[in-house]
Amino acid sequence: MNESKIAMTERLRREGRWDEATIFKDDALRDFRSKGMRRDEASEAAWEAMEQAYPPIAAVAETADMQAEVATDTRIQGLNEIPAGWPTLPANATLQAEVSWVQANRLRCVRETSDCVVVDLSRALSPAPSYATLGWLETSIKTYSKFVDVAAKATASQDGEAAEIRREVFAIADIRKILEEMRQG
């Protein structure tokens, strides 16, 4: 691991991603254990998987910037033309919200011509959740492969949330069963 567990925990908390990263790590731990790993080995492997799945946000942004510079010099028009009906956008939103918005609106808003790419944000289904979302839209235009990687990671965390909800539903059912047994006994 490049980062200590304590440093990674603190970083993920600062970035507001600790809860989703913990779910990811717990799911990975269960997966490794089901494959026959000892508990300590599975724990280390789960922490390493979490570190890989949740790199520092600045590192993700730097990688995207470097890839954008290397990519073909695509001229993009209209990306900075925020529709008048949109509210004031915050700087950032959750990665899931930003990536989901780009996935839902890219085909509606982006039109490629022979010499440039034209973005018409007024065609979006809804306002972007943040200014950072427009950066992800730009990344999806300039370096689509990078955007696909980020989208896959964001979707993986959605799967983790679904698993957490399932666990909570089962836990609630267990509590109800215990309460019913107590009431009858």
Stretch 121-130: mean pLDDT: 96
Stretch 99-103: mean pLDDT: 93
Higher pLDDT pick, 3 / 74: 3
Written as six digits, the tokens of 134 are 């427009």
pLDDT tier at 172, thresholds 50, 70, 90: confident
pLDDT tier at 137, thresholds 50, 70, 90: very high
pLDDT tier at 174, thresholds 50, 70, 90: confident
Q: Look up the pTM and report it.
A: 0.48
Contact partners, residue 80, CB within 8 Å, separation at least 6: 134
Q: What pLDDT, on a 0 to 100 scale, did the predictor assign at position 121?
A: 96
Question: Around 28, how many Cα atoms within 13 Å sit in the side-chain half-sphere?
Answer: 22
> What percent of the chain is modeled with pLDDT above 90?
37
pLDDT at 170 exceeding the cut of 50: yes
Q: What pLDDT, on a 0 to 100 scale, did the predictor assign at position 70?
A: 46
Q: What pLDDT, on a 0 to 100 scale, did the predictor assign at position 165?
A: 75
Q: In what order do the strands lie in the sheet with 117-119?
A: 76-77, 117-119, 110-112
- Kindly report the backbone phi and psi dihedral angles of residue 16, in degrees, each rounded to the nearest multiple of 5, phi listed first: 75, 25
Angle in degrees, CA 139, 23, 102, rounded to 5: 20
Q: From CA 113, how far away is CA 25, in angstroms rounded?
A: 44
pLDDT tens for residues 37-96?
A: 899 999 999 998 888 888 887 655 555 555 555 444 568 999 999 999 999 999 998 888
